[in-house]
Amino acid sequence: MRRLIPLMCVFLSACAGFAEQQEFVQPLPTAFIDPSYPTVQAAAIAPVQSSSGVNVSAKRAWRDGKDVNAEVCFTLIDASDWSIWGANLQYGESVVFDFASTMLSVQEPVEGQSGLRCDMLSFYNIPPDADLSSVMITVDAIAALPRPEEYCTIYMPKIQQTLDARGSGIVLACADSNGVQVMQIVGKPESMSQEEAEQIVFSDEFYTIHGPWSFTFNLGQ
């Protein structure tokens, strides 16, 4: 019996080692890219559009499988963090509003000269058999979400001017808060609640520039 114990230990160790070698790791799924999916690149028919004092250009667009991408540049009117706020892709009777924007480059504005930012716009899950021979990519708006200190340094004069022109009765001022100038509402009509006044003052209309800027491409059928 004593001679069997060492043999059993060797056998069990060998089985354990074999089990470890046989452990199977499930591979992660990967996106399926069919070789037949189209890949086409084209330049815009009218590569530069101007609206609301902002020039937007579309250098090129390309169709890569189920994705449609476009390289879009727009002028920066000031040093705020401007980005594409809304865009869509239209082909036939279909319109795609979901998009992703990736910054490619940026040139900050200097005194007397506008800056320039270039992004890659991406629209996903476009059917491979979609007719994109006359696809239109539209930038609906660009916007710059203000930092708290920028309301006083950049936005307050424009906001106050607009409020006065509308006869809103709202008065703004800047006050120091922990060393930072913060815009505050210091006057409003008695019939207007504080919440209503803040919704008017902090509306995105004051930091959004609307187009549209539209570009047409032939990305094949």
Shared-domain flag, residues 106 and 213: yes
Shared-domain flag, residues 131 and 193: no
Shared-domain flag, residues 72 and 172: no
Shared-domain flag, residues 137 and 49: yes
- Is residue 44 within 8 A of residue 58, CB to CB? The reply is yes
Q: What is the dihedral of CA 120, 126, 130, 133, to 10 degrees?
A: -10
Shared-domain flag, residues 113 and 213: yes
Domain limits for position 202:
150-206
Shared-domain flag, residues 136 and 177: no
Region 178-199: mean pLDDT is 91
Region 196-217: mean pLDDT is 92
On whether residue 187 sits in a domain, the answer given is yes
**Is 35 a residue whose pLDDT tops 70?**
no
Shared-domain flag, residues 141 and 52: yes
Number of domains in the chain: 2
- Rounded Cα distance, 139 and 71, in Å: 12
Residue 77: CB partners within 8 Å, gap ≥ 6? 53, 54, 109, 114, 209
On whether residue 108 sits in a domain, the answer given is yes
Task: Please tell me whether the overall predicted TM-score, pTM, comes out greater than 0.85 for this model.
Answer: no
Shared-domain flag, residues 141 and 174: no
- Residues facing residue 40 across a β-bridge: 63
Phi, psi of 177 (to 5 degrees): -135, 105
* SS3 state at 39: strand
On whether residue 13 sits in a domain, the answer given is no
